[in-house]
Structure 1
Amino acid sequence: MNIEGEADSWDFGVGAGFYLNATQEKWKNWQMYDYVVKELPAVLKENFPQLDTSRASISGHSMGGHGALTIYLKNLDKYKSVSAFAPVANPINCPWGQKAFTNYLGENKAAWEEYDASILVSKYTNVSATILIDQGDADKFLSEQLQPQKFDEACRNSKVPLLLRMQPDHVRMDFASVGT
């Protein structure tokens, strides 16, 4: 889109869109939530009619894991399951999320809550499948940025089924070796 600053940092812009619909003027065309939930499924259905979209699941890694969790929770009728690998699980309370949300959504904290899985899980509790999070316990971003324990606590408080698998001696980029 050639927006000034979109490629300046790996944790923002083209490196991390956070699968939300931006509301700030500079980023207003970044509508990644709508792209994943509406546009992409329509394109897939049109080009691959053999796909059974009634059996869709969603997954993602890191920032994409954040997106998978929030999109799943807000669209329980569209997805049968969700798997997230080292997700940013509580972006309101981490530097990556705060940077992204401030730039994409502005200062309105209520807007931020609409894209934080640890908040959303208390609003969307009709979860039929166990949510899976795979996380390496040697991840240098575990406590400051990813915070799966906050999502775990929110799930327990809301009685939403979660399988949080902590993988010994794994880091963020080891997700392919742990499997599901």
Structure 2
Amino acid sequence: MTMAKPLLLIVEDDAAFARTLQRSFERRNYEVIHASGPGELPDLLSVRTPDYAVVDLKLAQSSGLTCVEALHAHDPQTVIIVLTGYASIATAVQAIKLGATSYLAKPANSDDIERAFGMTLGDADVPISARSTSIKTIEWERINEMLAETGFNVSETARRLGMHRRTLARKLEKRPIV
């Protein structure tokens, strides 16, 4: 009798990165399915329930947080990892509140992701950094928090932050959300 392969769902709009992850996990004996955004989840979840999910935080014009919420609502036992190019405290907190197990900053490789699959409980011994947070980091976290609140609507985010839309657009060009 052979064991069934664990089912991994990758929610990623970058097709090349998704293919790379898929091949890597297939070599690790996972069955992998792919969705490029939240619109594809209902059909996939109507026929399959993943054991694991890797969700990119920024999906084209939508937030991966909606995918985390949908996956957790579908099956709270699914181990969900959020992957992002520009991590922030605000989005990390929201991801965990919505049902993610872990939150990883890119670049993360298959080893990092698989290790996160096994770490479903918190680690009270994680080292606490004594480094103070810079003003730029605080600003970036606030921008990320507001972008997440507005569903990544740049105009609304700029309005709520009290800054001109072009100023926010320039900041996002320098440090895009991936």
Settle same-fold status: TM greater than 0.5. Answer: no
Point out the structure with max Rg over C-alpha.
2
TM-score by length of structure 1 reads 0.28
Higher share in strand:
2
